[in-house]
Amino acid sequence: MASNCRSAYHHNPPPGKGQQVVLFMVQESLEERARAGYEKYGTLLTTHNGRDPLWDAYEEALDLVMYLAQAILEKDGKKEEKIEEEELEEDEFIRLLIPRKRR
């Protein structure tokens, strides 16, 4: 794990009175996603459709983790050395994937 990452557990205080009901935004987003899926595939998502929902969800979860990590790093204002993907040799890319020891 990189030295600039927080622990997996981040303490938050109990929630107070907020400003917007999150459920309403989520409902609207679900309806928009269903509409977009219907327009793209001509059907709503159904069971036994030939796809493996566990693998689909797993791959989506991996994307989510990457986006969350990006948002956390950007929120914390951390700036790392810029790495251009095109400049990486295969062995350099693999080396980046191997976890570094904590400093």
73, with CB counted inside 10 A (0-12, 13-18, 19+), is middle
pLDDT digits (tens, 9 = 90+) for 52-102: 999 999 999 999 999 999 998 898 876 666 666 666 677 777 777 777 665
59 and 76 in a common domain: yes
Cα distance between the two ends of the chain: 10
Contact 1, 101 (CB under 8 A): no
33 assigned to some structural domain:
yes
Ranges of H-type helices in 8-47? 22-41
**pLDDT one-digit tens code per residue, 26-37:** 999 999 999 999
Mean pLDDT computed over every residue of the chain: 84
Q: What is the pLDDT, as a whole number, of residue 1? A: 44
Q: Is residue 87 part of a domain?
A: no
Host domain of residue 63: 51-81
Q: Where are the beta strands (DSSP E) in 1-103?
A: none
Tell me if 89 is assigned to some domain.
no
> At 11, is the pLDDT very low, low, confident or very high (cuts 50, 70, 90)?
confident
Is 12 within the bounds of a domain?
no
- Number of domains composing the chain: 2
Residue 42 sits in the same domain as residue 56 = no
Residue 46 has pLDDT above 60, yes or no: yes
